[in-house]
Amino acid sequence: AAVRGRSLRAVKRRARHESGEESVIVDFTRAASKNLREILANICRPVGISDGRKLGHLNNFPKLLCHYGPDVDWGLTSEEIIKCVRVSLLSERKEIRAAGLRVFRYFLKDAATMELLLRLKVDYLIARCLDIAQSNDGERVQALRLIRKMVYVSPSLFPRSLVNTLVSVGNEGSQERDRLLRASLCVLCELAIHNPSVVSRCGGISTILNHVLDCHLSRINEALMATVLHLINQPQTRCYVRAVELQQMLAPFTDFHYRHSADTPDSHISDARETTLLASKMAIAPISRPWPGVVVLCKPDGSGVESLLGVLCIPNNEVRQRIMDILFDIFRLTIPCWTEDFTVALKSSDPSTFQDSWQLSNGFVVEEAKSVLPSRLSSRTNLIENYLGLVLSAFLNAGLLESLVEVIRSSDNHNSVRATILLGELLHMANRLLPHECGQHSHCLPSLVNLAASFDVSAQERQRASTAVMCLNR
């Protein structure tokens, strides 16, 4: 810890030296008002003081706030202090502007102070600092940290000027390779949770959804989707997310010519499509978790689940594999290994086989018992099974089983084996969870048997159908 502390102090000294800051000693034995007046007087002096010394005085202001505490009598009103510090945001030196932003972040403590900042138009200067030049990393980081502090202090007062700036960074950051893109999206998501109205009016919800398909990192993708799902899960905020915007998560699968960005060069289309398919795959399953997401996806207008399952009937083995992985995830089933051997694939998807979560460093015996042993709460309603039953019924009505039969018939052996296992799991789940009135789900079996006995199809397709019928008996 001591070595780490010394290295941190060395980094700070080197940063002060590179910025040209002059060391200014603060006498903490003096009254707080005298120290503050000296700092503000030097900040506001137009001539007769070097930029390095002015920077030193600005960096001493946070030290005063931390030393004397928030309740000390400064001898000046908050409005007078803000007006004096505001001058630093108009400096030509980026280091001075960054120090002024840091002062405002320390000084901002409640909604009343934030109202003063907005009344004195400081938000426009903050937006200018964030948008003035991409190379000013230190200044832009300080601006973003101040913006996040404003979200934390009073999200209801957050100005549209700063939301527009965050949205512009989110919309153009990918093309410009902005290093603050992800941080800006994080602040935008946080603001969308606390004040969705202002984010929606500035187009921030669309920006978040667009970046869901632009991000293949699972944790970031999950955070973006969690923001949207939180909004659609609350009746008072559901109006800010349109169903069309949610359904665009399916577009990479349902549109084989889909291009997420029009600026993608032709030489990178294949890589961009691979990334977009992965991002879409990570986003579709979470949409089906909340009830509003189920309602949006399962509308009987051919735009949601029906369009996704219709793609299974198109002979594209790569897309079929990814869609089946999504279905395994939605119905909480173990994905079998990628093989042509049905026995090996079935064994790999068996819940009783060893799993990584059973290791000593993870869940060990508890996780193994949760996976293998049946629940003892037989008298209590299982809400997860109720949810799975409803989702399964909606997918069956959309033609899920018929699509899987088509995959078995016309895919390669790997996809045929995986589709057979998925078909068996869903038939078992349907018999266990759905009432007898919904018994039409077994109608896919006669069509599979007819394929196995028909001479109107190729010998290879007939053999796959026959193998699937025999494997389903296992």
The per-residue pLDDT for range 203-225, each reduced to its tens digit, is 999 899 888 888 878 888 888 88
Residue 123 pLDDT more than 90?
yes
What angle do the packed helices 51-68 and 2-19 form, to 10 degrees? 140
Q: Nearest 5°: CA angle at 175, between 172 and 180?
A: 65
Q: Which residue has the higher pLDDT, 9 or 184?
A: 184
State the pLDDT at residue 4.
Answer: 55
User: Over the chain, what is the mean pLDDT?
Assistant: 82
Q: Which residue has the higher pLDDT, 241 or 300?
A: 241
Residue 3 pLDDT more than 50?
no
Of 130-139, 212-221, 445-454, least confident by mean pLDDT is 445-454
Residue 348 pLDDT more than 90?
no
Percent of the chain whose predicted confidence (pLDDT) is above 90: 21
Name the burial class of residue 93, with classes exposed (0-12), middle (13-18) and buried (19+) by CB atoms within 10 angstroms of its CB.
Answer: middle
> Residue 439's pLDDT band (boundaries 50, 70, 90)?
low
State the pLDDT at residue 193.
Answer: 93
State the pLDDT at residue 163.
Answer: 94
State the pLDDT at residue 222.
Answer: 85
Region 164-183 average pLDDT: 86
| Nearest to 311, CA basis, from 245, 258, 243, 389 | 258
> Residue 176's pLDDT band (boundaries 50, 70, 90)?
confident
Three-state SS sequence of the chain: CHHHHHHHHHHHHHHHHHHCCCCCCCCCCCCHHHHHHHHHHHHHCCCCCCHHHHHHHHHHHHHHHHHHCCCCCCCCCHHHHHHHHHHHHHCCCHHHHHHHHHHHHHHCCCHHHHHHHHHCCHHHHHHHHHHCCCCCHHHHHHHHHHHHHHHHHCHHHCCHHHHHHHHHHHHHHHHHCCCCHHHHHHHHHHHHHHCHHHHHHCCHHHHHHHHHCCCCCHHHHHHHHHHHHHHHCCCCCHHHCCHHHHHHHHHHHHCCCCCCCCCCCHHHHHHHHHHHHHHHHHHHHHHCCCHHHHHHHCCCCCCCHHHHHHHCCCCCHHHHHHHHHHHHHHCCCCCCCCCCCHHHHHHHCCCCCCCHHHCCCCCHHHHHHHHHCCCCCCCCCCHHHHHHHHHHHHHHHCCHHHHHHHHHHHCCHHHHHHHHHHHHHHHHHHHHHCCHHHHHHHHHHHHHHHHHHCCCCCHHHHHHHHHHHHHHCC
State the pLDDT at residue 262.
Answer: 66
| C-beta separation of 197 from 240 below 8 A | yes
State the pLDDT at residue 20.
Answer: 60
Q: Which residue has the higher pLDDT, 422 or 457?
A: 422
Q: Which residue has the higher pLDDT, 159 or 268?
A: 159
Residue 188 pLDDT more than 60?
yes
| Nearest to 69, CA basis, from 107, 120, 126, 39 | 107
- pTM of the entire structure? 0.81
